[in-house]
A and B are shown apart, each in its own frame.
Chain A
């Protein structure tokens, strides 16, 4: 296994607040690694440290084999960074932006121009190449921004919330572009507030909460840690919800969170075990408690459930916090 990014014991304080409390990570080359966590969890601080923008207080990190503290210039030659805002000069054209980045990567005048044209083509921006970026749509800007970070053909790229604020179509288009890069062997470290994005793109995920690693693993493994299928029922009237909760508590899988009632007071959900037998047991318990179920749904656990389980934050809460 070839490790592209490795982090050990990373700590960082801003004044009195400790934002990273000892982070360890290893990212295999040619894969997408997702950092998932609520706002202020420390995701961006990790990325900025790896991109040599921040100095950690303790710990070590290497990117593409180079030490971020001792060989920052070599690290910079090996990375591309796409931050939370499209880091472009809005007054320059798309082409001029890319040529500038390529020149500052010391590609030489002719190769810089050629590479800019190539990137524009690759990201379907040739038609807008000679228009000021000011006139671009949000999706085009993000594409150009991603293109700018790929100008130097870096083996490692950092995507810090690359699709925040994008419409669904542009988001899916950007995911496609990221997948294409990974297929060509690029390693991607992705931070995101969207569980779906991590689920779609990442081979492995680290859940970060309050500066610590709350969990780490492949998305499927993480989902397995929170138990088997989820059963969600809707009862006819709010007064039945408590009875349903008590009934389901008798069948909820061991070691998992007890059944929870939604804010609307009508929906109750629980993690089950034993597959179909668990569903049957739940149905029996509900019947015995004479709970009137108007709707039910059995589903695989989502990363949302993982998140709730690990951090005590709801996905909804997480997304509002990020806005």
Chain B
């Protein structure tokens, strides 16, 4: 049974790749909004945004990469709910396969989708004048962190899809995860203008930590004040820990949700 995990996951990975090849516009669904953000925020509001020790163009890109990864929640969640709804999950469950492959095939194929989106976004960033000011190793570390965030988000998306079961409902629930993550953190604006209590919450948001880590790794301004919260003093390590902890919690919950969802009448 264990020996089937790899082969079965590859078969299902292949399924998602075929679907992506047939409908490549899905990449645009994920990247169009962040591209709009870069243009709108970068050019229209950018002039009114002040980032301590840096300019807004180089500040916003980390946030945009985070936004793309957060879109995985909806993307993956809708896909999982659709499989459940049209009975595909029932079919998989009646096959002598490694069941966890259904989730592995999907999450890993969504990582690949994220890689493609990142390359696209990287090009857009370079065109509007964003630059990575560090070295190749640090830059790569940054992108690996982006993908780790995306991987975590696809698992959260899987879980929401399995619990909500309705593709339309997934959108609404996913928004409740992605909206606060995006706007109650330093993804798009420095926190220094927020009231103190809100600043305290936002500083502890995992998204603020990841954003700070990315900015540090890419040599972009972090926009954090002189005495930030603890995770922001060691942003790379904190991000890795926070995301790993999330995965350790979410993966078993999701596998359980898969089991339950498939077992409901």
**B99 CB to nearest A CB, Å:** 10
Query: Which of B12, B23, B86, B95 sits near A76, CB closer than 8 Å?
Result: B95
- Which one of B18, B95, B262, B265 contacts A104 once the chains associate, using CB atoms below 8 Å? B95
Query: Within 8 Å CB of A104, what residues of B?
Result: 8, 11-12, 92, 95-97
CB under 8 Å from chain A, chain B span 1-36: 1, 4, 7-8, 11-12, 14-15, 18-19, 22-23
A67-102 to B contact mask, C-beta < 8 Å, 1/0: 000000110110111011111111110001000110
B240 to chain A, nearest CB (A): 34
CB within 8 A of A81: which of B11, B15, B86, B94? B94
Q: Are A81 and B265 in contact (CB under 8 A)?
A: no
Tally B residues with Cβ within 8 Å of A: 26
- With contacts A53-B262, A76-B94, A106-B96 taken as known, whether A100 is within 8 angstroms of B87 at the C-beta atoms is no
Contact B18 A88 (CB under 8 A): no
If A51-B94, A76-B96, A81-B94 touch, whether A45 touches B88 (CB-CB below 8 Å) is: no
Interface residue? A55 (CB, 8 A): yes
Q: Which residues of A contact B92 (CB under 8 A)?
A: 104
Contact B15 A89 (CB under 8 A): yes
Min distance, Cβ A291 to any Cβ of chain B, angstroms = 50
The answer to whether B18 touches A54 (Cβ under 8 A) is no
Residues in B neighbouring A205, C-beta threshold 8 A: none
Q: Which residues of B contact A88 (CB under 8 A)?
A: 86, 88
| Cα–Cα distance between A89 and B91 once the two chains are bound (Å) | 11
Residues of B within 8 A of A81 (CB): 90-91, 94
Are the C-beta atoms of A73 and B1 separated by less than 8 Å?
yes
B107–chain A nearest beta-carbon distance, Å: 17
Tell which of B8, B14, B90, B265 touches A45, judged by Cβ atoms closer than 8 Å: B265
Interface residue ranges of A146-169 to B (CB < 8 Å): 148-149
**B52-87 residues at the A interface, CB under 8 angstroms:** 86-87
8 Å CB interface, B249-265 against A: 262-263, 265
Partner of B265, one of A54, A79, A92, A149: A54
Choose among B15, B23, B86, B263 the residue that contacts A54 (Cβ–Cβ < 8 A). Answer: B263
Instruction: Give Cα A101 to B11, complex, Å.
Output: 9
Kindly state whether residue B93 has any CB partner on chain A within 8 Å: yes
- How far is A82 from B1 in the complex, measured between Cα atoms in Å? 24
Which listed residue (B14, B19, B22, B96) contacts A73, Cβ 8 A? B96
Q: Which residues of B contact A51 (CB under 8 A)?
A: 93-94
Q: A54-B263, A91-B19, A106-B4 are in contact. Are A83 and B96 (CB under 8 A)?
A: no
Quote the shortest CB–CB distance from A298 to chain B (angstroms): 43
Q: In whole angstroms, how far apart are the Cα atoms of A64 and B109 in the complex? A: 36
Contact A89 B19 (CB under 8 A): yes
Q: Does A119 contact B (CB under 8 A)?
A: no
Most buried by A among B4, B15, B18, B23: B15
A174 interface contact, C-beta 8 A: no
Report which of A80, A85, A106, A149 forms a contact with B86, defined as CB distance below 8 A: A85
Q: A87-B88, A88-B88 are in contact. Are A44 and B94 (CB under 8 A)?
A: no
Q: Which residues of B contact A132 (CB under 8 A)?
A: 22
Q: Knowing A73-B1, A100-B15 touch, does A87 contact B265 (C-beta < 8 A)?
A: no
Interface extent on A, as a size class?
35 or more
Q: Given the complex, which residues of B lie within 8 Å of A85, measured CB to CB?
A: 86-87
Nearest chain-B residue to A91 (Cβ)? B19
- Once the chains are docked, how many angstroms separate the CA of A51 from the CA of B90? 9
Q: Does A170 contact B (CB under 8 A)?
A: no
- B90–A77 CB distance below 8 A: no
Q: How far is the CB of A155 from chain B (nearest CB, A)?
A: 14
How many whole Å from A5's CB to the nearest CB in chain B? 15
Instruction: Given the known inter-chain contacts A53-B90, A91-B19, A96-B18, please indicate yes or no for A103 contacting B11, CB distance below 8 A.
Output: yes
> Which residue in chain A gives the minimum CB-CB distance to B93?
A53
Instruction: State how many angstroms separate the Cβ of B3 from the closest Cβ of chain A.
Output: 10
Given A52-B93, A73-B96, A90 and B18 contact (CB-CB distance below 8 Å): no
Instruction: Indicate if the CB atoms of A105 and B90 lie closer than 8 Å.
Output: no
Inter-subunit contact B87/A83 (CB<8 Å): yes
| Shortest Cβ gap from B65 to chain A (Å) | 28
- CB neighbours of A84 from chain B (8 A): 87
**A1-38 interface bits toward B, Cβ cutoff 8 Å, 1 = contact, 0 = none:** 00000000000001000010000000000000000000
Distance in angstroms between the alpha carbons of A131 and B263 in the assembled complex: 32
What are 20 A-B pairs with beta-carbon distances under 8 A?
A45-B265, A51-B94, A53-B90, A53-B94, A81-B94, A83-B90, A84-B87, A87-B90, A89-B19, A89-B88, A91-B18, A100-B11, A101-B91, A101-B95, A103-B8, A104-B95, A104-B96, A105-B96, A148-B91, A149-B94
B positions within 8 Å CB-CB of A: 1, 4, 7-8, 11-12, 14-15, 18-19, 22-23, 86-88, 90-97, 262-263, 265
**Given A80-B94, A83-B91, A88-B86, 12 other A-B residues pairs in contact with their CB atoms under 8 A:** A14-B265, A48-B90, A48-B265, A51-B94, A53-B263, A54-B263, A55-B263, A76-B94, A84-B87, A87-B87, A104-B95, A106-B4
Those 6 A-B pairs whose CB atoms lie nearest each other, nearest first: A87-B87, A81-B94, A87-B91, A76-B96, A85-B87, A104-B97
